[in-house]
Amino acid sequence: MAENGIGAPVRRKEDKRFITGAGTYTDDINRHGQAYAYFVRSPYPHANLNGIDRSKAEAAPGVLAVLTGDDVAEAGWGGLICGWMVKNKDGSDMRAGNHPVLAQGKVRYVGDHVACVVAETYAQAKDAAELVEVDYGPLVACSSTADADQPSQPQVHDDVPNNTVYNWELGEEAAIDQAIAAAAHVTKVDLINNRVVPNAMEPRAAVGEYDAAQESFTLYTTSQNPHVARLVMSAFIQIAPEHKLRVIAPDVGGGFGSKIYIYSEECICLMAAQKIGRPVKWTGDRSEAFLSDAHGRDHVTHAALALDADGNFTALKVHTKANMGAYLSLFASCVPTYLYATLLAGQYRTPQIYCAVDAVFTNTVPVDAYRGAGRPEATYLLETIIDVAAKELGRDPADLRRQNFIKPEQFPYDTPVALTYDTGNFHAGLDKALEVADYSNFAVRRAESEARGKLRGVGFSCYIEACGIAPSAVVGSLGAGVGLWESAKIRFTHTGVCQVLTGTHSHGQGHETVFAQLMAEKLGVPIDNVEVIHGDTDKTPVGMGTYGSRSLAVGGQALANAADKIIEKGKKIAAHLLEAAEADIEFKDGSFTVAGTDKSKALGEVVFEAYVPHNIPQGLVEPGMEEGAFYDPANFTYPSGTYICEVEVDPDTGVVSIDRLVACDDFGVIVNPMIVEGQVHGGLAQGIGQALTENCVYDSAGQLLSASYMDYCMPKADDLPSFEVSNTMTACSHNALGVKGCGEAGAIGSPPAVMNAVADAIGTRIQMPATAEKVWRALQANKTSQAAE
Amino acid sequence: MASVSMTVNGKAVTEDVEPRTLLVEFLRQHLGLTGTHVGCDTSQCGACVVHVDGKSVKACTALAIQCDGAEVTTIEGLANGSGLHPMQAAFREHHALQCGFCTPGMIMSAVDLLENNADPSEKEIREWLEGNICRCTGYHNIVKAIKACAQDMRG
Amino acid sequence: MYEFNVRRPGSVELAVSALQAAEDGKLLAGGQTLLPTLKQRLASPSDLVDLGAVDELKGISDEGGAVKIGAMTIHAEVAASDVVRSQIPALAHLAGHIGDPQVRNRGTIGGSIANADPAADYPAAIVGLNATVHTNQRTISADDFFTGMFETALNEDEVITAVSFPKPEKAGYEKFPNPASRYAIVGVMVAQTGGQTRVAVTGAAPSVFRSADAESALSSNFSADALASLSVSAADLNSDIHASADYRAHLVSVMARRAVAAAS
C-alpha cells in the first residue's frame, strides 16, 4: 500500500486552518466598498401583495437601494426553476408553478422574499427594512400535507389545481392489489415522516460583485455546487451569460443538501451590486435560515406489506403524499419519486412493489433533498412495516429480515422498482451487527433495566441506499435536466506539485485529504505535494458538485481516470528516457520502471522532462503534464448496512435515552476510515435527531412554530451516546476504485432502528419524533387499555 | 459612538463603535478576527464562544462595551503564538471537526472545561457541551478529543 | 438591535440616576435574556444601564442563618461557591444547571429574577427557599416578589442588590428541561426551612407558584412516598409544542418526588 494511500486514516490536511480560526467562509469575505443587504420577508403564510411603498425606506440613513419583485420583472429574469421533470400517471407533465426571485402578486409562505434593502451597514439595512410598507391582503393558508389536495383547501398557485404538483406512480397497481388479496397476512401502517430543518451550522451568505468594465459578475456564496449555481443563474434566471458570471464557494460550513439549491438572496446580491456599483453582502441569521433554507422530508404515507404463510414478502403497496412547500425547489420533484420509490425493495426479494406519490404545494417553506433525500423516507417505511409484521406474526425481527434478504449469490439483482444492485452481502452485515450488538444477551440487559425501573427496547434497520445518481442517460430519461457525471483534472507543475482540480466541492467531507490520498495511491505523490482546488467556476473544470454521496464514487473515479492518463503519458516519456519499449514500462509507487530491471525514473523526473522537453523528440508527446477526465458511472452505487439500536425509556417521564447504537455498513472500498467513521457519526446524529427530537411544526394557520433553537430541538452532545461503528465490504463492481459512498447512510439507517427500539420498549408504535410526552402518553394509553381488559 | 478598549489575544485595542455593537461584531468586523463565528441568534449554538477574563462566554450575547477593559482570547490567540494549543491538536488528531464552522467555539468551550475540571468523565464532557451545537460530527469524536486532551494535559 | 445608549455606572446610586435620566432606560445585568430579546427587536429601550461595573453587587457571603448573594453574582459562581455548596447544596445544583456553561458565566441571579421568566430556574429557588430580595429601596419577601408572567413587585427605578436565602434543613431541586432551550418545562424546589415545608414550581405556569397539596403532604412526612398520590391540576398550566398542560401537571408530581428524594 502506498504511504497515506487508500485505507490509511490520514489526519485531515484542511484541519489546520479550521482549528486555528483561519478558515474562510463566505461571511469572512469582505470586499472593498461593500454594502449590506437585508431582506423584507412575508409575515403571512399566504397573502396578496397589493403594493409596496419603498419611499420611506429609500430615504432612511445609509440606504442605497430597495429592490422588489418589480425590479426582477423589469430585468426580465426567469424564476428559480425546478430541474427535474416528473410525469403524472397519465404521462402529462407535472405542474411546477412559478417561483419568482422576489415575490410578485402574492406571498406564499412566512419568510417569502418581498423586498431587499441595501445600505451602508447591515444595521442600517435592517433598520430601513422596517420602513418598507407592504400592503398585504391576507388569505387563508394551506399547511397540511395530508389535506393539501382536498378541493376545500386554498390554492397556493392558481395554475396548479388542487395544489397537486403531480400524481406519479411506479409499478402496476392492479397486480399488487391481487397479490395483497391473495396474501396469508397483510401488515398495514400509516406513517408520518416528520419535516426537519437541515441546520448547517454556517448560515447561508452571499457577496455579489459587478465589474462594469467587463460587464461580469462574481458571486461568493455558500454552495455545494458552484457550477450548478452558475448554470441555473445563467441559463434559466438569465442573470448573465456563463462566461460573465463567476461563482466562488469558499469554505462551506455544512450543507446536508440545503446548499445545493439556488436561492433568491444570492441572485439579488448580484442585482444589487450591479445597481449600486459596489459589492453587496448578505449574511443570513439563524431565524432567516429556519424561514428560507429548504426543509427536508415531510411525507404522509399509507402502506401495506403482504406475506405468504411462511413469512416471505410477496407484495408491497405504498401511497405517499409529499409536501413540496410553497414552491418547487431545484431537485424537489425527484426526491419523493426517483430517490424514494426506487428504494422500496430495500435489502429484500419482495417480487412486486407499487408506489403512488402525490406531491402537493402548501404555504410552507420549500422542501427539497436533505441528507439521504428520499432514501431515509423509503427506509423508514420499509423497516417499520417489516418490524410491525414481525411483531404481528410473532417472529424475531432479525430472522424475518434475514429470511427475505436478497442472497449473496443473487447479485447483480434486478429489483421490481427499476434498480439493479451490483453487489452486496446483507447476511454478512446483519451477522456482524448482531455480534457487535451482543444481541443474544439482550434479554439480560432488558432485565437489568427493568430492575432499575426502566423499559429497554431493541430495534433493527437494514437499509440500502443508492449513491452517485447516474448514468446521465438514465437520469435524463427519468426527467433530470442535467447530466450527473463528474470531472477532474490533474496538473503537475515543473517542481512536481500535483494540483487536483475537481468539480465536486467539500462542505466538511475532507476532499482535500481524500483526493490527496487517491493521488498518493495512484501516482505515489506525497500527500503534502497535492493541492486540491475546488469551489471556483473560473478555476475548476465544469462539475456537478457534492451531494448524494457522489464525490468519491463519481468525482474520485474521474480523478483516478485522470491519473491513469498521467501514467499513460508518463510511460511514453519514461520509455524514451530509459531507452525501452513503452510496453515494457511499469508504473508503481511513483516510479516508471523497465520491467525486470532496476532501471527507473521517478514521476517527478518525468514531469520535469515533460515541462523542459529538451530531450524529448518532436511528436512523441505534447509538452506539459496535465490531464483531465470526465466520468459518467454505469450505475448507482449501493451502500447497505444493518443498524441496531437499544433504548431505555423512563416510564415516569417518557424520556427516551439511546444506550447503544451499532452501525455496520458496507461502503465498498474505504479510502480514509477515519473520515468515513466521522461521516457515519454525523449521519447517525441527524437520524437520531429526526427520530427523537427534531420537528418542524407549522400551526394550522401556516405560522412556523419551531423557528429557532429555542423551539427546534437540535441534538446536543448529552442527547447522544458514543457510537459503535464497523464495516463489512463488497466492492462496487462498476467503478475501478470499488467505492460506494458513505455520506448519507447514518441518516438513512438510523431513524427506523431508533423508532423500532422505542416501539419494542413501550409496546406501542408512535410517530416520529418520539418526544417524551408522546412516549408518556403512549404508556398511559397502554395502562388504560390494560386496565380495561 | 462609544470608545471601547480591551486586550484581545494579548494586544491592546481601542475602537469607536455604536453602543449596540456585540462583542462578536467587534471581533469580526472591527478587528478582522473572523475565526469567531455566528451560527444562531438566540444564544444557543456556541459557534461564537471566546474567553473573557478567562471564562468562556458567547460573544454574540455580550455587548462590546460590556467588555471594556477585559482580556479577551479568541481562537486566533489560543495557542499564544506557539503552534497549536493541545486542544487544537487533539481536535485534529481525533477528527473532531468536519465543516469546521462550530470548531472554534467548540475548542474555546472545551479549553474552559479543562480549566474547571482536569479529568472530566464522558458524561461531564457531554453536559458541558450543552452550549455548543455541532451538526457534522455527532459529537462522538469531539468527546473523544476532549478526553484525550485532558489526559495529555494531565501528563 | 435598535439603537440605544449604554451607561456604565460604578455604583447603585449612579445606576439609579442614569435610569431616572433616561427616556426609556433598562437595567442590563448579565444580558443573557435581554440581549437576545434586543437582537430579535422585541424591545427598544433608549438606554441600557449596565451594572457590570458595580462591584458592590457582586459576591456571596455566609450571614449565619442565611446565605446572601449579590445581585450581579453569576450562576457559575453560585454553583461553585463553597458557601452555597455546603449550606444550600440544592441552590448550587440549581445554579449549575441553568442554561449552559457560557450562559452561567454571564447570567446573574439579579437579572434572572428581575426578568421573571416563567421558565427560569431561580424563581423556584426564591420561592421554595423563602428568600428575601434586597433592593436599593426595601426588602421584598419571596411570596410577594413574583407577580405574574415577566412581572415582579419591583418599581421602575428599583435595583435588586442581593438575595438572602435562609439556610434550609433540607432542600432539593429537580427540573425537566425543555429539550431545545433547556429552560425548565417543569422545575420543582422542595425545602424544609425552620420547620416549614415549601414546594415551589417553575416552568409549569405563567409564574412560579407553590403547591399547597405537596406542601401539606410533605410537612408531616418529608419523603417521596408522601407524594405518591399527589395529583396536580392541569388547569392554568402552560401548554406549548413541547409539553401540554396535562403532561406538565404530571411532571410536577414526578419532579417533586425526585426533588424530595434528592434533597439534602
pLDDT the model gives residue B82: 78
Q: Are A537 and A246 in contact (CB under 8 A)?
A: yes
pLDDT tens, A663-679? Answer: 999 999 999 999 999 99
- Among A36-45, A49-58, A479-488, where is mean pLDDT lowest? A479-488
Residues of C (46-65) whose Cβ lies below 8 Å from B: 48, 50, 52
Please state the φ and ψ torsions of residue B53, each to the nearest 5 degrees: 50, 45
Provide CB contacts within 8 A for B83, sequence distance 6+: none
Task: Please tell me whether the peptide bond between A651 and the residue prior to it is cis, using omega within 30 degrees of 0.
Answer: no
For residue A12, pLDDT over 60 is answered with yes
What is the per-residue pLDDT across A417-471, written as a single tens digit (0 to 9) for each? Answer: 999 999 999 999 999 999 999 999 999 999 999 999 999 999 999 999 999 988 9
Average pLDDT, chain B: 97
CA distances from A518 to A244, A501, A535, A562 (A): 34, 13, 19, 11
Average pLDDT over residues A687-712: 97
pLDDT at B80: 84
Q: A773 CA to chain C: closest CA distance, Å?
A: 6
Query: Given pLDDT bands bounded at 50, 70 and 90, which one contains residue A710?
Result: very high
The nearest alpha carbon in chain C to B116 belongs to C80
CA distance A128 to chain C (A): 11
With a cut of 90, say whether residue A789 has pLDDT above it: no
Q: Which of B38, B91, B135 is the best mutation test for A, with the most CBs of A within 10 A?
A: B135
All cell numbers assigned to A478: 427519468
Give pLDDT, residue B155: 82
Which three cell numbers mark A119?
445600505
Q: Is pLDDT above 60 for A522?
A: yes
Measure the CA–CA gap between A756 and A751, rounded to whole angstroms. 8
Q: Is A711 on the interface with C (CB under 8 A)?
A: yes
Q: Looking at residue C45, what is its pLDDT?
A: 97
Q: Considering only CB atoms, which chain C residues are within 8 Å of B47? A: none
State the pLDDT at residue A686: 98
Q: Given this model, what pLDDT does residue C64 score?
A: 95
Pick C180's closest partner by Cβ from A127, A710, A776. Answer: A710
Cis peptide before A769 (omega within 30 of 0): yes
Tell me the three state secondary structure of residue A761: helix
Residue B109, chain A, CB below 8 Å: the answer is no
Cell of A146: 395530508
C7-46 residues touching B, CB cutoff 8 A: 8, 28, 31-32, 35-36, 38-40
Which pLDDT belongs to residue A788? 77
Say what percent of chain A tops pLDDT 70.
100
**List of E strands, chain B:** 2-8, 11-17, 49-52, 55-58, 71-73
Nearest to residue A505, comparing CAs of A744, A249, A187? Answer: A249
Closest by CA position to C260, among listed C158, C87, C128, C107: C128
Non-local (6+) Cβ contacts of C116 within 8 A are C123, C146, C148, C149, C150, C151, C152, C207
Q: What average pLDDT does the segment A75-89 reach?
A: 96
**Which chains, if any, share at least 3 CB pairs under 8 A with chain A?**
B, C
Task: Please give the Cα distance from A517 to A512 (Å, whole number).
Answer: 9
Q: How many Å apart are CA A742 and CA C55, to the nearest integer?
A: 55
Please report the pLDDT score of residue A303 as a whole number: 98
pLDDT along chain C (264 residues), means of 10: 95 97 96 95 96 97 97 98 98 98 98 96 98 98 97 96 98 97 97 96 98 96 95 96 97 98 96
Question: What's the CA dihedral at C192, C194, C196, C200 to 10 degrees?
Answer: -50
Q: How far is C180 from chain B (nearest CA, A)?
A: 9
* pLDDT above 90 (res B19): yes
Cis upstream peptide for A412 (omega within 30°): yes
Which chains are adjacent to chain B, needing at least 3 Cβ pairs under 8 Å?
A, C
- The whole-chain average pLDDT of chain A stands at 97
Residue A2: what pLDDT? 75
User: Confidence band (pLDDT; 50, 70, 90) for A784?
Assistant: confident
Q: Are A539 and A506 in contact (CB under 8 A)?
A: no
Q: Which residues of B touch C100 (CB under 8 A)?
A: 44, 46, 130-132
The mean per-residue pLDDT over the stretch A600-614 comes to 97
The string of pLDDT tens digits covering residues B73-122 is 999 999 988 799 999 999 999 999 999 999 999 999 999 999 999 999 99
Q: Do A709 and B79 touch (CB under 8 A)?
A: no
Å between C53 CA and nearest CA of chain B: 9
By CB neighbour count within 10 A (0-12 exposed, 13-18 middle, 19+ buried), where does A36 fall?
A: buried
- The ipTM (two decimal places) reads 0.98
pLDDT in tens, C133-187: 999 999 999 999 999 999 999 999 999 999 999 999 999 999 999 999 999 999 9
Amino acid A576: pLDDT? 97
pLDDT for res C158 = 96
CA distances (Å), origin A193, targets A323, A581, A656, C243: 10, 63, 19, 21
Confidence at residue A278, expressed as pLDDT on a 0 to 100 scale: 98
Mean pLDDT of A101-118: 98
Report chain B residues whose CB lies below 8 A from the CB of C75: none
Q: In the prediction, which pLDDT does A62 show?
A: 98
pTM of the model: 0.97
pLDDT at position A523 is 97
